[in-house]
Amino acid sequence: MTNTANEEELHWQEVLSPEEYAVLRQGGTERPFTGEYVDTTAKGMYQCRACGADLFPSDTKFSSHCGWPSFYAPLAEDRVRYIRDTSMGMERIEVRCANCDSHMGHVFEGEGYDTPTDQRYCINSISLKLAEGQE
């Protein structure tokens, strides 16, 4: 890592809790059915917990019963970036915040959910914060 990269990671370690850092900056995953937003139905804008960027409006959240908050689309395609992920012996698409490059979760397609996009953005609660009333 370069000095700048080291300084950036030190900054994230200072502003994020150890649990947040493990998921947002190291690509970890919280345990299923443990996150604060799994069953939340409050209205608002889900933002990146690290940088505050608006990512997912609550009207795109749906109940997938998978253990993590699920959305069928981000606010706009330029709000997230996608990375091919083969780390678990299968091909998945990782979702990151386009603003700060923090790990959010993964997106899956073709699972048969009755949503406008047939996609499920499976996002860690710990990667998000809900700004209620800001849709």
One-letter amino acid at 8 equals: E
Which pLDDT tens digit goes with each residue over 38-81? 999 999 999 999 999 999 999 999 999 999 999 999 999 999 99
pTM of the model: 0.91
Q: Taking residues 111-116, what's their average pLDDT?
A: 93
> CB–CB of 97/27 below 8 Å?
no
Q: Determine the straight-line distance between the first and last CA of the chain, rounded to whole angstroms.
A: 38
Kindly list the structural domains of the chain, giving each domain's residue range(s) and its CATH number in brackets, ordered by start: 3-132 (2.170.150.20)
State the chain's mean pLDDT as an integer.
Answer: 93
- Indicate the SS3 state at residue 53: coil
122 as an active site residue: the answer is yes
Annotated catalytic residue, options 51, 66, 100, 122: 122
In Å, how far from its chain's centre is CA 24?
8
Q: Taking residues 81-97, what's their average pLDDT?
A: 89
